[in-house]
Amino acid sequence: MRAFLLLCLLEAAHCQEYAWGGPGSNTDNGGVGSNTNDQASCGCCLMQQQIHRMKTFFNMSLNELEKELVKTKNIINSVRASRSAFSVALTDDDSLTCFGPFRGEERIIVYKHVFINLGDGYDVNTGVFTVPRSGVYSLALTVYSDAGSPGNSLAACAGLLVNGQLMAGLSEKNMEDQEDSASIVIALHLKAGDKVSVSLPIGCFLCDDSSHYNTFTGFLLFATD
């Protein structure tokens, strides 16, 4: 911008130099002044042409910089829009509360406590994470259950679903442990709009409190669209 202003000042100064009559005007010295002025006029024209070329160059350079700035802003906005991460827990109750067991059919587990929900992909009302952008995602699931007392049946189990299809599952069923836990971590290539959720199989139950033993986490590793 400073260089552009300098060019404008130079051009104005050369124009003012001949304000008295203009380059090439006749004088009373027998034509000598006319030749001198013609030479000066020629030099002024060359200078103005050079200034014009420099102004054109600066304008072109400025336009290219503005285009690159717009591209960079678009890339940054795209990266910000693609950020996606969530981490939730079953409950935040002070006392241990169990979800299940149920009969008849498996249930979608609705995790009520939200640690982070970047991009708002996780719906706390349905327990479903809707994939915002196609890419490779890391998904992690941890389950915990408490049978209540030794000798009771323990059934800590869950399934990781994508569009209702089982991708991975974990199960800990026995009568030897009063409490137990299990975890899985997988990476999946998901498409925008895919629905990711966790199901509780028939007869299984999970127990949690403010210690957050049951968690469901996912985040975008890299986009592929």
CA distances from 10 to 13, 37, 41 (A): 5, 19, 15
CB crowding 203-223: b at 16 or more within 10 Å, else e: ebbbbbbeebbbbbbbbbeeb
In whole angstroms, give the CA distance from residue 207 to residue 45.
Answer: 88
What's the chain's average pLDDT?
A: 82
Domain ranges in the chain with CATH number 2.60.120.40: 84-223
* Residue 115 confidence class, pLDDT cut points 50, 70, 90: very high
pLDDT digits (tens, 9 = 90+) for 59-89: 888 888 888 887 777 666 565 556 899 999 9
* Residue 58 confidence class, pLDDT cut points 50, 70, 90: confident
pLDDT digits (tens, 9 = 90+) for 170-198: 888 877 778 888 999 999 999 999 999 99
Its pTM stands at: 0.65
pLDDT at residue 81, rounded to an integer:
56
For domain 84-223, give the fold: Jelly Rolls (2.60.120)
DSSP 28-41: SSTTHHHHHHHHHH
* Residue 225 confidence class, pLDDT cut points 50, 70, 90: confident
Cis-peptide, bond into residue 101, ω within 30° of zero: yes
pLDDT at residue 19, rounded to an integer:
41
3-class DSSP state for residue 52? helix
pLDDT at residue 66, rounded to an integer:
81
φ, ψ for residue 52 (rounded to 5)? Answer: -65, -40
Minimum mean pLDDT range among 55-59, 130-134, 144-148: 55-59
Range 216-225 average pLDDT = 93
pLDDT over 70 percentage in the chain:
77
